[in-house]
Amino acid sequence: MNTQMTGKDLVVTGLRDFDLKHIFDCGQCFRWNMDSDGSYIGVALGRALRIKQSGDTVTLYDTSEKDFQNIWRGYFDLDRDYGEIKKALAADDIMRAAVSYGGGIRILNQDLWETVVSFIISASNNIPRIKGIIERLCALYGSEIEYGGEIYYSFPDCETLARLKAEDLAPIRAGFRDKYIIDAARRFASGDIDEKYIRSLDAEGAKKELMRINGVGNKVANCILLFGLSHTEAFPVDVWIKRIMEYCYFDGETSINAVSEFAEKKFGALGGFAQQYLFFYAREEKIGL
């Protein structure tokens, strides 16, 4: 991987196992959207960014070498060897096919607080609606970010949301999730849920802490572990993943617990990567719908 500034843009060449469509369309994030020219525009970690890919070359527009090194390099998980991960997972025909479909997936290292709220919103929801709720939340209570002549909005901090009542969130149209968002905000703002402490725990301990938040069940907690805390062994199971696993690995219907136990034994520390490859594969092939 090499980087070079070209005017105000940073060009990264020699990227392997990296595909923006795979990264942004595998259900792990909700604030990136494709533009008409094939580039993606999004907001993460308090920054807006337009990014475009051509083969193994990726251009980050209107950014700096400093922001790339301090923010985007870690966010896109560019220092992890995904070739080795794919090689390890592709031990059976199913995972070999899944890896070939989503070979450019990288698990983003997202802000913990934003990940908590985003996956609370995701419960019993679909991706277009999740994205709409989050964008309305950010426009109402986030801070303005000027980028490329346009205004974008940061994700609102927990202190801002903690001062609100559930009814104040009515304009974002999150439904029953309003009260869960406020509960999470108050726990984070008060220190009842402490990020530094959670990061010091193993996956099991962190999961128990997260599940003290109203609206954070097993699946949502596993998503937060994977996308917000880098616990790559986490294997989130919702109804769709359950159906995918039943189709691929079980002879008929089984329980979520059975799926989770099977994934833990089969994939181990690579469970989160396996889940993302399977999710993308099933979405492309319409498995489990």
> Which residues are known catalytic residues?
219
HEC letters along 78-122? CCCCHHHHHHHHCCCHHHHHHHHHCCCCCCCCCCHHHHHHHHHHH
Q: In this structure, what token pair is assigned to residue 249?
A: 């690995």
Q: In this structure, what token pair is assigned to residue 63?
A: 């950014």
Residue 229 neighbours by CB distance under 10 Å: 21
